Structure 1
Amino acid sequence: MGDDWDPESAQRALTAVVDGVHTLRGDALLIAGDVFDNARISDAVLEFFVSEIARAVVPTVVLPGNHDLFDASSLYHRSPFSDSPDNLHIISGTRGQTLTFPELTLEIWGRAMDSHTPAFRPLAGIPSKRNGQWSVAMAHGHFHFLDDTEERSSPIRPHEIAEASCDYIALGHWERFEDVSQNGVTAFYSGSPMGASPNRGNVAVNVVDLDPQASRAVVVSQVELPMAGASSMNLPIAADN
């Protein structure tokens, strides 16, 4: 949100995401970074975002990414977020932070990005122990495939995913939907709502079902829904306890 390319479409995409939370009966909404294009956008855009998240009702967790860093000048310090709704949770721990939602038997960990450099490791500090609840991590960065040779900022290595002690990792930074699961640990990029859908009139989100009674406890699917106002959602999670 807040770019100069098509700001109205970005707002309609957010509305479609929130509508999708209700349509898909999501228990939580996770947005893995780059909600906003830059730190210079107007308060009006921030106020619109906050009002839409309030409409989502369910717990909504936002992880700052490289476009909306959590540094001294972060837009998350500005007044529209000072009186944000109770369901909005901004991950602010730059060395890692865990949020607990007992009603969902869910814990969410993330590390807010304060500097988009090769030294920043999005999964560094992820907890190594579980407490019996669903464990979800959020990370914003570039996944390095085994044959990658170029060093990128905010790297996520295959072994970091493989060694993570969690049920699911929600990834942000790439525009596209991508499965980068490793060694039984489920990890997906959702892509941006508009960027991940080939249909300009739709938005795309990842729906993550957590169900201990199913043959596969974690099931991820990409779902497309009409963009708000179109004629023809980043991430609702349905956690079945």
Structure 2
Amino acid sequence: MTEPLFDVEPLSLFDLPEEATKPATPKAPRVVESPQTPPDAVVDPHVRFLHTADWQLGMTRRFLTGEAQHTYAAARDAAVVRIGEVAAETGAEFVVVCGDVFDDPRVSTRVIRRTLDALGAYPVPVYLLPGNHDPYDATSVYTSAAFVDACPGNVHVLSAAGVVRVRDGVSIVAAPWYSKHPTADLVAEQLAGLAPSDDIRIVVGHGGMDSLSPNPDPSIVRLAGLDAAAASDLVDYVALGDRHSVTSVGDSGRVWYSGAPEVTAFDNVETEPGHVLDVTLRRGGERAVEVRRHKVGQWSFRTIGLDVTGADDVRRLRATLEEIPDKPRTVVQLALVGTLTVSENVMLETLLEEAADRFAAVKFWDRRHDLTVISDAGDLDDLELAGYAAQAAAELADRARADADAGDEDPDAAAARSALSLLYRLAGAAR
């Protein structure tokens, strides 16, 4: 991680009273009431809002360096700004951010203040839920001096579990994280205490789902309870964070992960990042839900898997890379499996050097990349050498083939292949 720590020393657990280090998680929902509705007022049974999550601001990616790292960070900031623009364009009443707004409680004050400046420009209220990366604990970013001092009036931290009235007829059911390791399903705790209501209710939660990644973690969110609450009209929509791809869960159409607004992992993990969800809910007459996706992300992390057994496959990889648009904002992860001769591998290395200059980054997927380089009699065919140089090349080729019969990697053979590769480059034989 390259982001600096707070400009001020974080609070120490040892400097606080004991009770301050033990956040009180309400077992029953707490209701924040709005002003009393006049008897003759008509409550709008319709609401439109934006659902987003997992901004993880302050995040860096270890495979990005220099300019690419700065460009990536700028794109993540731009996605936050774009969400505010989408709110204005769609007529959304508010925005909910379902956990992990910040990547770490120790995120820099620069990130905090710039984020709050961006949120202050939103034309609507913004509700921030503490998640596993930024829980509302004794060292929470949300209680830091930088956050408290810079927080604009339209930004509200959902620090207390329970029901928060957004306006007459619309409520949020908040399930914030108070530590990185909750001992229960926080969303289920809030649903258990809810009484029937005519309000449109939006659950705002965070965490993994048992139907997507079953595991014994006690904090995992259980789909059955969400489906039952939606089917009984107890809640109208469940807005979740933690999964970085847009995902509809279950069959109700009312339980969604928004995904991260900018990609954070390769497409073998994140299948559809880079969006914000535009949600419309209706009650009264016909109960309905409508979810639209708006693209706000700019980057892509592409995985390319390819069997390579010769020069034609290297050329096929070149064609694949050529077709990828917006290369400066694309990271490529390669999983190449097969065998190449020394001369063919020089072709590959030349291609990857060019790609590294054009893309944000090019890396190998270590767990899936399995490429073997061998020396072949044809390796010398393209080298127009004579005399001592030809004799030296032949000797290198012989040494490079030494481990082929033994079946084990010979360090001398590997060094000979490297030397032969360098000879190819100097001779300009690989094109």
What is the TM-score when the length of structure 1 is the normalising length?
A: 0.82
Q: Does 1:178 align with 2:247?
A: yes
Q: Does 1:4 align with 2:71?
A: no
CA RMSD of aligned residues (A): 2.7
Q: Return the letter of the residue paired with 2:240.
A: L
Structure 2 segments unaligned to the other structure (5+ residues): 1-56, 62-71, 268-272, 299-325, 327-431
Query: Offset of 1:216 from its aligned partner?
Result: 5.2
Q: Using a 3 Å threshold, how does the CA distance of structure 1 residues 211 and 69 change in structure 2: closer, same or farther? A: same
Determine the structure 1 residue equivalent to 2:46: none
Determine the structure 1 residue equivalent to 2:159: 92
Determine the structure 1 residue equivalent to 2:99: 33
Determine the structure 2 residue equivalent to 1:237: none
- How far apart in 2 are the matches of 1:125 and 1:223? 29
Q: Return the letter of the residue paired with 1:88.
A: V
Pick from 64, 69, 72 the counterpart of residue 135 of structure 2.
69
Structure 1 segments unaligned to the other structure (5+ residues): 232-241
- How far apart in 2 are the matches of 1:49 and 1:80? 11
Query: Offset of 1:223 from its aligned partner?
Result: 1.9
Determine the structure 1 residue equivalent to 2:116: 50
Determine the structure 1 residue equivalent to 2:224: 159
Q: Does 1:208 align with 2:276?
A: no
* Structure number with higher helix proportion: 2
Q: Using a 3 Å threshold, how does the CA distance of structure 1 residues 65 and 38 change in structure 2: closer, same or farther? A: same
1:78-119 deviation line (CA, Å, top 9, x unaligned): 1233242221110112xx22211225x210011210223362
Q: Return the letter of the residue paired with 1:178.
A: T
Determine the structure 1 residue equivalent to 2:262: 194
- Decide which moves more: 39-48 or 111-120: 111-120
Query: Offset of 1:50 from its aligned partner?
Result: 1.1
What is the TM-score when the length of structure 2 is the normalising length?
A: 0.47
Q: Does 1:224 align with 2:325?
A: no
Indicate the structure (1 or 2) with the bigger Cα radius of gyration: 2
- How far apart in 2 are the matches of 1:216 and 1:204? 25
1:191-228 deviation line (CA, Å, top 9, x unaligned): 001139x8xxx94111101133785521112222475x
Matched-pair contact (CA < 8 Å) for 1:171–1:190: yes
- How far apart in 2 are the matches of 1:82 and 1:73? 13
Determine the structure 2 residue equivalent to 1:115: 179
Q: Using a 3 Å threshold, how does the CA distance of structure 1 residues 149 and 32 change in structure 2: closer, same or farther? A: closer
Matched-pair contact (CA < 8 Å) for 1:70–1:92: yes
Question: 1:142-157 alignment to 2 at 5 Å?
Answer: 142-145=208-211, 149-152=214-217, 154-157=219-222
Query: Offset of 1:157 from its aligned partner?
Result: 0.7
- How far apart in 2 are the matches of 1:131 and 1:144? 27
- How far apart in 2 are the matches of 1:225 and 1:175? 14
Question: 1:5-24 alignment to 2 at 5 Å?
Answer: 5=61, 6-24=72-90
Query: Offset of 1:153 from its aligned partner?
Result: 5.9
Q: Return the letter of the residue paired with 1:219.
A: E
Q: Using a 3 Å threshold, how does the CA distance of structure 1 residues 4 and 117 change in structure 2: closer, same or farther? A: same
Query: Offset of 1:2 from its aligned partner?
Result: 0.6
Determine the structure 1 residue equivalent to 2:200: 134
The residue matched to 2:295 in structure 1 has which SS?
strand
* Segments of 4+ moved more than 6 angstroms: none
1:95-149 deviation line (CA, Å, top 9, x unaligned): x22211225x210011210223362312112342133221111110001118x55
Matched-pair contact (CA < 8 Å) for 2:260–2:275: yes
